[in-house]
Structure 1
Amino acid sequence: MRITKIEEKPVPISSNIRNSYIDFSKMTASIVAITTDVIKDGKPVVGYGFNSNGRYAPTGLLRERFIPRLLEARPEEIMNDKATNLDPEKIFDVLMKNEKPGGHGERTVAVGTLDMAVWDALAKIEEKPLYRVLAEQYGNGTVDDKVFVYAAGGYYHPGKGLSALQDEMKGYLDQGYTHVKMKVGGASLTEDLKRIEAVLGVLPAGDRLMVDANGRFTLDEALTFGENIKDYGLFWYEEAGNPLDYELQAELSRQYPHPTATGENLFSFQDARNLIRYGGMNPKRDYLQFDCALSYGLVEYMKILEMLQENGWSPRNCIPHGGHQLSLNIAAGLGLAGNESYPGVFKPFGGFADDYAVENGYVRLPEVPGIGFEAKADLYETLLRIGD
């Protein structure tokens, strides 16, 4: 078998919202399609991929380096030993050929985008949902029949007051979510505390709320914020400071008495390992949010999961960033704790399969070969326009 064509297209995912650091008014994402010569139901198998929100479309890197590199590879460099399917680990090696270690930069996003499409094609060739492929070939054979998901929202928005924030969160509860997340760090401490208390006013308990500072705080600010929210008993306090400031995270973990979460902006095995070595996080309490679509892909993510287990962490402490179907498949097939969800923003990439409603904080996955993009109409329609 061989890859016959790879296409890429940048698409807008712009929105009039902001977190503590950036606004999303000009945000883009890359969509890719990898076409193979394998025929199923009379058509070539095509694997689709895209990068998660928060990083711009890596169009230049894909078109100038990584797509040509993959197309130039010999069949034996990308196929499994039986020559019956793609081999993601071999493809990872092809993509990273002649790349220096360190300084990972945006190339992690480009490789992760292609990796998603590779896994989609692989599972379609197997004629199985990806979560079953992962459970059978890389996990313990057991699939979680439903996955915990939380609603990520609470962004800063022009003219959005406390009542509108409450209405947003009540809307997520009405959709079946039990846990919600909101942004902090983009306003004064006094204002953010009012916002948190407003949201807590529509929730049954403090442990139904996560807050996310998106790396905004210095150490002193992070500790001060933690001191002011500790009595709320929140589900977690996320990314208080710069994601590479492990000393800040370690000090916060020592002083803040409740769960913290971070990792969505660490894009390699080495950075993840440094967080575990030096970040002072508690494997019995805290959560890790590595997003494989931004960090070289699922091949790299499985190396991270192995490293975590060697250091006393369970996959049940992992809830990936991104709110996309790939992470949902990973959660179901490899036994993660859950997955983020974006029910109100970053359309059509956020959210899950049509006709699979969130029920009591959990969502089920369809029996669709591949990652399941075909079961989400608005996303699949976007992916089909990649050649336009």
Structure 2
Amino acid sequence: MRITAIRDDVVPIKSQIANAFIDFSAMTASVVAVVTDVMVEGRPVVGFGFNSNGRYAPRGLLGERFIPRLLEAAPESLLGEDGLIDPHRAWTAMMRNEKPGGHGERSVAVGVLDMALWDALAKAKRVPLWRLLADRYNGGRADEAAWVYAAGGYYHPGKGLDALKDEMRSYLDRGYSTVKMKVGLVPLDEDLARIEAVLGLLGGDGSRLCVDVNGRFGLEEAIRFGHAVAPLGLRWYEEPVDPLDYLAHAALATTYAGPLATGENLFSHQDARNLIRHGGLRPDRDVLQFDPALSYGLVEYLRTLDVLRDHGWSPRRCVPHGGHQFALNIAVGLGLGGNESYPDVFAPFGGFADAVPVRDSRVAMPDAPGIGFEAKADLYAVMRPLAEAV
């Protein structure tokens, strides 16, 4: 199996929505196609990848460093014993001459290509990625379905309580029983009114609602907000402080007994280890949201899972950020706790295969080879031209 070409493009996913820290008016994503010489049904196997939302398209890094390293590597150096591309060996080639530390935008660029390589490998084997992962890393065990929640509740100009409730009601109508909303951008009393409005739709059941601060609060504000929402019994209180302020997380965990969630802005197994060592998080209740698409890909995510196990954490405490099919395959194949979902925002990259319904916040996986992008028509329409242009 040889890589014959790699194409990339930048796709806008801009929106007028905002969370407590940034707006998405200029957000972009990189899309890549890794073309190989393996033929299936008369067509070359092509693996596709893209970067998860919240980080801009890393096109410069892709074009200057990581794509050239893959193309310049000796083809046999990228292959496993089965003669197919080994994403682990490809990862080593991409990271050649990279110093340790500094896990920023380069982790996003590598993650884009890593996703495409796993997609290509599973297609070459003619199996879904979730099945390949279950057989290779999880003793053949795969979950029948993944737990998912609908992420939304963004701030938007002119969006009042009625519009917020209409949005959340639409998620419930589409089969989600758990939803997430943004908080932290407006005064506490306004956010509490927004939370109460959504809880009204959920029958007052706080375990069906997550709130996300996106790291905006300082410790004192995070504690004050935590005291205000603690009686509601929320599913989790997400990214209450800066993601790298482990001491603040640890301090908050001494005052907020409910589940905390964080990790989407940590991009390496070393950062995950530091969070577990120093962040005061509790393996019996807290949620880890490392996003494999932003974190050097699945090769690095496997290292992260090893770190977590070594520190007494179950993979079930992992619910990846991003709402994409790559993480969904990983969740099902490796036995994670679930996956985020974006039913309406960040189109066409969020959501699942077109024929896959959501029932009580659970989705089953199709048997499509690879990650399954071809089963999501609007997303495949963006990806297909990259392969056809080669």
Scaled to the shorter chain, the TM-score interval is over 0.9
Dislocated runs of 4+, deviation >6 Å: none
Q: Is residue 2:339 matched to residue 1:303?
A: no
Q: Is residue 2:241 matched to residue 1:237?
A: no
Map 1:218-229 to 2 at 5 A: 218-229=218-229
2:130 paired residue number: 131
Map 1:205-284 to 2 at 5 A: 205-284=205-284
1:115 paired residue number: 114
1:174-215 CA distance string (max 9 Å, x none): 000000000011111111111111111111311100000000
In structure 2, C-alpha distance between the alignment counterparts of 1:250 and 1:36, rounded to whole Å: 47
1:5 paired residue number: 5
In structure 1, C-alpha distance between the alignment counterparts of 2:77 and 2:263, rounded to whole Å: 32
Map 1:170-209 to 2 at 5 A: 170-204=169-203, 205-209=205-209
In structure 1, C-alpha distance between the alignment counterparts of 2:81 and 2:334, rounded to whole Å: 24
In structure 1, C-alpha distance between the alignment counterparts of 2:103 and 2:262, rounded to whole Å: 18
Aligned residue-pair number: 387
Give how far 1:386 is off.
Answer: 2.7
Q: Is residue 2:75 matched to residue 1:75?
A: yes
1:346 paired residue number: 346
Map 1:88-167 to 2 at 5 A: 88-167=87-166
**What letter matches 1:304 in structure 2?**
T
**What letter matches 2:152 in structure 1?**
G
Helix, strand or coil at the partner of 2:254: helix
In structure 1, C-alpha distance between the alignment counterparts of 2:191 and 2:27, rounded to whole Å: 25
**What letter matches 1:271 in structure 2?**
D
In structure 2, C-alpha distance between the alignment counterparts of 1:76 and 1:101, rounded to whole Å: 26
Helix, strand or coil at the partner of 1:91: helix
In structure 1, C-alpha distance between the alignment counterparts of 2:227 and 2:272, rounded to whole Å: 27
1:277-331 CA distance string (max 9 Å, x none): 0000000010000001000000000110011111110011000000000000001
Helix, strand or coil at the partner of 1:255: coil
In structure 1, C-alpha distance between the alignment counterparts of 2:269 and 2:314, rounded to whole Å: 16
In structure 1, C-alpha distance between the alignment counterparts of 2:360 and 2:215, rounded to whole Å: 30
Helix, strand or coil at the partner of 1:201: helix
In structure 1, C-alpha distance between the alignment counterparts of 2:79 and 2:27, rounded to whole Å: 35
Helix, strand or coil at the partner of 2:265: coil
Give how far 1:274 is off.
Answer: 0.1
2:39 paired residue number: 39
In structure 2, C-alpha distance between the alignment counterparts of 1:141 and 1:56, rounded to whole Å: 36
In structure 2, C-alpha distance between the alignment counterparts of 1:73 and 1:239, rounded to whole Å: 39
In structure 2, C-alpha distance between the alignment counterparts of 1:69 and 1:236, rounded to whole Å: 41
Aligned residues: CA RMSD: 0.8
1:322 paired residue number: 322
1:356 paired residue number: 356
**What letter matches 1:71 in structure 2?**
L
In structure 2, C-alpha distance between the alignment counterparts of 1:361 and 1:76, rounded to whole Å: 43
Give how far 1:255 is off.
Answer: 0.8
**What letter matches 1:182 in structure 2?**
M
In structure 1, C-alpha distance between the alignment counterparts of 2:103 and 2:230, rounded to whole Å: 35
Give how far 1:385 is off.
Answer: 2.5
Percent identity between matched residues is 63
Give how far 1:242 is off.
Answer: 0.5
What residue ranges of structure 2 are gaps of 5+ in the alignment? none
**What letter matches 2:346 in structure 1?**
F
State TM-score, norm by structure 2: 0.98
1:14-70 CA distance string (max 9 Å, x none): 111000011001100000000000111001100000000000000000011100110
In structure 1, C-alpha distance between the alignment counterparts of 2:13 and 2:252, rounded to whole Å: 33
Give how far 1:154 is off.
Answer: 0.2
Helix, strand or coil at the partner of 2:4: strand
Helix, strand or coil at the partner of 1:308: helix
In structure 2, C-alpha distance between the alignment counterparts of 1:270 and 1:331, rounded to whole Å: 21
Helix, strand or coil at the partner of 2:253: helix
Give how far 1:75 is off.
Answer: 1.3
Give how far 1:82 is off.
Answer: 3.4
Give how far 1:139 is off.
Answer: 1.0
In structure 2, C-alpha distance between the alignment counterparts of 1:82 and 1:50, rounded to whole Å: 26
Helix, strand or coil at the partner of 2:251: helix
State TM-score, norm by structure 1: 0.99
In structure 2, C-alpha distance between the alignment counterparts of 1:227 and 1:77, rounded to whole Å: 55
Give how far 1:81 is off.
Answer: 2.3
Give how far 1:353 is off.
Answer: 0.3
2:365 paired residue number: 365
